[in-house]
Structure 1
């Protein structure tokens, strides 16, 4: 992946000279995502960091999370501290770091990178990739047309009272052949084929159906849905949400939209305006995966978010001093900005107790409540098994 066409061409020639003929190339992360989504898993990603580093980091996280690449080599001149930091990000994404190649690429260096990959493949047993290819565009479109994408609902709790404080709608694909698929199995494909809005609209309608059923029994609930930042670049989806609320006679406060922290840098004007439109409609806005992305305090003050969702990875070691410092500082930040703080990944009683002692009010996680199908969730709400 390189945004310089001459360098990209030279790199392709060098790879072919070394006997590598199955090569995908793209000038940006979006093009690379689309190529890999349509072609399947690749062995090595060669990524140029001289351009947009943030896009490259998002791309590496995506291919690692989805199991669509095994190793990465970086291209371009890079300071040692940057190399170390990016290497850690790549490793956390499940990618094998092969090294850094300076520009222009030397044939001998590239050959060493390929040898290192082949040698490590022999030494280490690579975990098989269950779905080496993402679902095809035709399969995703068929699944959407057949109504196979379902919203599952995971409760959110007030940690102080153990009462249900809302729920998050999570996408699941009930595939007729592969069974129940999680977002890691299909979300990259839905994004690559530009079908994310269609999937969200179906999940929103299912959420409205659940809210209407609750209203008939005299109950109400705030439902959260995940939004990709790219979905906010146009007005169509915002207008659809507004009309959906009006048709079902629900106030905007009924819905909360979560946007991943990584997607909030360099937002175009239209995206900022649409965030504001959602907030002015009464909808709540949450920064998802807070603490592992690239946002800034300036953005927190400028954008109309009213909730932070602290990523669950950050509270696994609840007894460590660094975790305590991070959580308590985030609690103080949220209070100073008049924002609600929700802790994700509450997976044990010790984590819940630790969070309570640090002043956290809201949490979500498998220890508190697992995602459920709509009908099961409705039955659960009638007599919820609340954490103690």
Structure 2
């Protein structure tokens, strides 16, 4: 088998040089270097992908876990070797992320770095890739920075909305604003097609501001029609490091004359593992504005009970993977324990991924109240949501659930 292509992601010069020397001594000639996640994504974009990433998590675990997640979703990395000792919590985090995304965790290089250990990990990768032969990675082309900036400038990034409903009555309890790129030649693109680019080019705040403005404009229209709607927006944990975005949220609320209590901000659970400095204070600032905070994709990440109690979250969104077969013993245990946890912490619970009436009925029987999913209502444009609201309001009581399923 040919020597693997390796990317070394490490900002410590001495350790990086030692890794490069070890790789060369082991016959690895195709080695790429990066000192941070943004540079690493650029290297993957230019090179078309690598076999293995040698990654030091020390000091920046959140940033680098997010890089590994994005890179594996794009199909540009097959395996990872970690180059620092890990706490048990971080080790579980990386292991679970690897199993969910198909990324192969070859091992952890302890200090001091040893040539024999690295050789065994590279050999393990080569051996596994020979039997059976590996399928080529399905590479997704990362949009260029110029293309993304042009899309932002032309207003191609639009807010779509997916309702959250009361499972028993079908009543609307809120909605989530979702970013969509209405691309002129590729059609409507989902976040998986452009989120990595937004992070790589540091444009995620700019995209958020577009979606946020559109969402608040819709809320203002509905408010004038007598409908108060809690609207949720997704935030990446890295967006809360500084105070600029928080100031923008506050100014935009004042401009639209809307209360903070009308907003919910959702943060993915796997972004809460090791929050950057200042993030917790900004979470508290959002709560002081009256905004709700939701832990998104709960059950797929690595938060602890200590974090749940310490951080100012008010809602849990259970990952939809667990409700596709809700009566299976493992899934049922997760659903009922998450429901009990949310009640004990005085947090609301939203079940994601509701996909059928059978799932809906099973969740109601367990005591769950609020759900979101394609069976209940699909994501839709601003105009589509207003039409959907009109249909559900006019539908007879017995037909309201059917009206909720949307277009």
| Structures share fold, TM-score greater than 0.5 | yes
Alignment of 1:1-40 (within 5 A): 1-16=9-24, 20-29=28-37, 31-36=39-44, 40=48
Q: Once structures 1 and 2 are overlaid, which stretch shifts more, 209-218 or 133-142?
A: 209-218
Quote the Cα distance in structure 1 between the aligned partners of 2:123 and 2:201.
36
Equivalent in the alignment of 1:125 = 135
Equivalent in the alignment of 2:180 = 172
Shift of 1:37: 5.0
Quote the Cα distance in structure 2 between the aligned partners of 1:284 and 1:78.
33
Quote the Cα distance in structure 1 between the aligned partners of 2:236 and 2:14.
33
Shift of 1:370: 0.8
Equivalent position SS for 1:293: coil
What stretches of structure 2 of length at least 5 have no aligned partner?
A: 1-8, 393-402
Quote the Cα distance in structure 2 between the aligned partners of 1:316 and 1:12.
46
Q: Once structures 1 and 2 are overlaid, which stretch shifts more, 76-85 or 361-370?
A: 76-85
Q: Aligned pair in 2 of structure 1 residues 230, 213: CA closer, same or farther (>3 Å)?
A: same
Q: Aligned pair in 2 of structure 1 residues 108, 35: CA closer, same or farther (>3 Å)?
A: closer
Equivalent in the alignment of 1:201 = 209
Aligned residue among 344, 364, 374 for 2:382: 374
Equivalent in the alignment of 1:349 = 357
What stretches of structure 1 of length at least 5 have no aligned partner?
A: none
The alignment covers a number of residue pairs equal to: 385
Q: Aligned pair in 2 of structure 1 residues 105, 323: CA closer, same or farther (>3 Å)?
A: same
Give the alignment's Cα RMSD to 1 decimal: 3.0
Q: Aligned pair in 2 of structure 1 residues 101, 236: CA closer, same or farther (>3 Å)?
A: closer
Q: Aligned pair in 2 of structure 1 residues 303, 38: CA closer, same or farther (>3 Å)?
A: farther
Q: Aligned pair in 2 of structure 1 residues 80, 359: CA closer, same or farther (>3 Å)?
A: closer
Quote the Cα distance in structure 1 between the aligned partners of 2:170 and 2:271.
32
Quote the Cα distance in structure 1 between the aligned partners of 2:94 and 2:242.
32
TM-score, normalised via structure 1 length: 0.88
Equivalent position SS for 1:24: strand
Deviations 1:125-172 (A, max 9, x none): 34633x2x3111111111111111111111111112111111101111
Contact 1:37 1:188 in 2 (8 A): no
Shift of 1:236: 1.3
Alignment of 1:184-333 (within 5 A): 184-268=192-276, 270-333=278-341
Alignment of 1:48-87 (within 5 A): 48=56, 56-75=64-83, 86-87=94-95
Contact 1:98 1:117 in 2 (8 A): no
1:112 paired with 2:120, answer: no
Aligned residue among 137, 140, 143 for 2:145: 137
